[in-house]
Amino acid sequence: MKNYKLLIQYDGTNYSGWQIQRNADTVQQKISDSLRTILREEVNLIGSGRTDAGVHAIGQIANFRSEQNIDLYRFKHSLNSVLPSDISIIKIEEVDELFHSRFDAKKRNYLYLISKIKSPFYNRYSYFYHNEIQCEKLNILSKVLIRKADFSSFSRKDSDTENKICNIYNVGWKELKELIIFRIEADRFLHGMVRTVIGTLLNAVKNNFDENYIEDIIMKTDREAAGEAVPAKGLFLMKVKY
């Protein structure tokens, strides 16, 4: 049995997230259907993690196993030719049979884009934020999040994940002309966590709250304590590290 690893990019605008769902278009479903069409066999496509509805990916990783000996160059071309234009396979390679794209992942890196201006060119992939953004203060507040802790306060209430412990390694804000770029890296993320973290930090700056505000939210482990999540369209899964 051979094991194949995919590097995937997608525009999540038209999808209900990565994970296959009943009566919904998802990225995993589209790729699985395309693999089945080409290989003419049932394929179990395993993603590194699920992205929410409307979230994009520049570095999603997935793997599948097959008895077939695949010509990687031709197969990538064939797969891209049957996939919709908003999903692309950037790279495919054969990996160790034991490789698992989800369980072997050590770190996941997300990026969020905020636009300081209303622009038709930024609208699809960024959040136009009307209030002033102070990156220096946001970076100070963000340092409170760098820890291993229960991040239930930043997870959606309907999440079915029992273990809410995450280890955040790095968080940062940077200004680049008309855009504000937010980056966060952790071993794992809860459902809706990144967007809620961003919304909470922006709310803290807007209301001139200090680090104790963020600390208190973490300690409460209650979603009601955190701020409103920002829109999905500005969020990108950038990289998965193994």
pLDDT in tens, 202-233: 999 999 999 999 999 999 999 999 999 999 99
Closest CA to 235 of 70, 95, 2, 55: 55
Residue 141 pLDDT greater than 70, yes or no: yes
What percentage of the chain has pLDDT greater than the value 90? 95
Tell the residue number behind the tokens 């030719």, with chain if given: 81
Q: What is residue 159's predicted lDDT score, i.e. its pLDDT?
A: 65
pLDDT greater than 80 at residue 160: no
What angle is formed at CA 190 by the lines to CA 53 and CA 114, rounded to 5 degrees?
A: 55
What is the structure's pLDDT at 55? Answer: 97
> Which residues is 8 bridged to in the sheet?
60, 89
Task: Kindly list the structural domains of the chain, giving each domain's residue range(s) and its CATH number in brackets, ordered by start.
Answer: 2-95 (3.30.70.580), 107-241 (3.30.70.660)
- Please, what is the average pLDDT of the chain? 95
| 188, pLDDT greater than 90 | yes
pLDDT at residue 150 in the model:
96
Q: Which residue has the tokens 């066999």?
A: 41
Active-site residue identified among 11, 25, 33, 52: 52
Q: Is residue 156 very low, low, confident or very high in pLDDT (cuts 50, 70, 90)?
A: confident
pLDDT for 204 equals 96
How far apart, in whole angstroms, are the C-alpha atoms of residue 79 and residue 118? 36
**Residue 32: pLDDT above 70?**
yes
3-state secondary structure the chain: CEEEEEEEEECHHHCCCCCCCCCCCCHHHHHHHHHHHHHCCCCCCEECCCCCCCCEEEEEEEEEEECCCCCHHHHHHHHHHHCCCCEEEEEEEEECCCCCCCCCCCEEEEEEEEECCCCCCCCCCCEECCCCCCHHHHHHHHHHHCCEEECHHHCCCCCCCCCCEEEEEEEEEEEECCEEEEEEEECCCCCCHHHHHHHHHHHHHHCCCCHHHHHHHHHHCCHHHCCCCCCHHHEEEEEEEC
CA 21 centroid distance within chain: 17
Band of pLDDT at residue 157, cut at 50, 70 and 90: confident
Q: How far is CA 30 from CA 21, 22, 46, 144, 198, in A?
A: 11, 13, 13, 39, 30
**Contacting residues for 166 by C-beta, under 8 A, at least 6 apart:** 148, 149, 151, 186, 187, 188, 189, 190, 193
Could you tell me which residues come within 8 angstroms of residue 85 by beta carbon, excluding any fewer than 6 positions away? none
Distance CA(42)–CA(33), nearest Å, equals: 9
Q: What is the dihedral of CA 228, 229, 230, 232, to 10 degrees?
A: -150
Can 52 be counted among the known catalytic residues?
yes
pLDDT (0 to 100) of residue 14:
96
What is the percentage of the chain residues whose pLDDT exceeds 70? 99
Residue 104 has pLDDT above 70, yes or no: yes
For 4-23, what is the mean pLDDT?
96
pTM of the model as a whole: 0.94
* pLDDT of amino acid 162: 78
Q: What integer is the mean pLDDT of 146-170?
A: 90
